[in-house]
A and B are shown apart, each in its own frame.
Chain A
């Protein structure tokens, strides 16, 4: 696929001179969701799923977990349900400690830290996509949960 009608040297020279003071940087704006996040579910979906399944695996209600973590039940609910909600670092830390999960990885899932790791992202989203909303964890959910927790703990 060769380009046949490339403009000549003068064209380039003139266009370059004309646009010398212009800014050609193209891409997502800083401090906002990147394009990937606009079209892909945010990682917080995986965080919410993880918290929800982990809670249910210990047969705890939202209120019971909130009490154990010394946080508001409402915050747990938002974490579990609302992908746009960003949990407070202290809450993330308490969750990590309670469920014995690596804090760094949890911070990434919760949106409190940046992750450029595509493998991490893929695994997290796959985990979130497979969960279901039943009060008792199915065998499949147990397996998924254990597998994902193992992945988080084993991350270097």
Chain B
């Protein structure tokens, strides 16, 4: 099977951002790269939908809160 081509990106993050990345990486048992990869996938997924005019909601039992300005 052909392996897809890869490119390297050097990321400069603040201490706070790095902390968040570390925490997510630990909580989700993913490498930091995998976390960022997931973040990119999710960001794009949300973006595509919002471009279509759809709204993003979080639901908690009976309450629905719109996630604006995402």
Contacts and interface: CB of A to CB of B under 8 A. Distances in A.
A129 B54 CA distance: 7
A139 interface: no
B52 A1 contact: no
B3 interface: yes
B3 A40 contact: no
A78 interface: no
A140 to B, nearest CB: 13
A40 B53 contact: no
B61 to A, nearest CB: 20
Interface in B14-70: 52-55
A125 B3 contact: no
Interface residues of B, number: 6
A40 B53 CA distance: 11
A84 interface: no
By secondary structure, the B interface counts as loop
Nearest to B34: A1
B53 A126 contact: yes
A2 B2 CA distance: 9
Nearest to B6: A1
Interface in A97-156: 122, 125-126, 129-130
A115 B4 CA distance: 33
Nearest to A3: B1
A1 B52 CA distance: 32
Contacts of A130: 53
B52 A126 contact: yes
Interface in A77-99: none
Contacts of B4: 1
B46 to A, nearest CB: 13
Given A1-B4, A130-B53, 6 more contacts: A41-B54, A122-B52, A125-B52, A125-B53, A125-B54, A129-B53
16 contacts: A1-B3, A1-B4, A2-B3, A40-B54, A41-B54, A122-B52, A125-B52, A125-B53, A125-B54, A126-B52, A126-B53, A129-B52, A129-B53, A129-B54, A129-B55, A130-B53
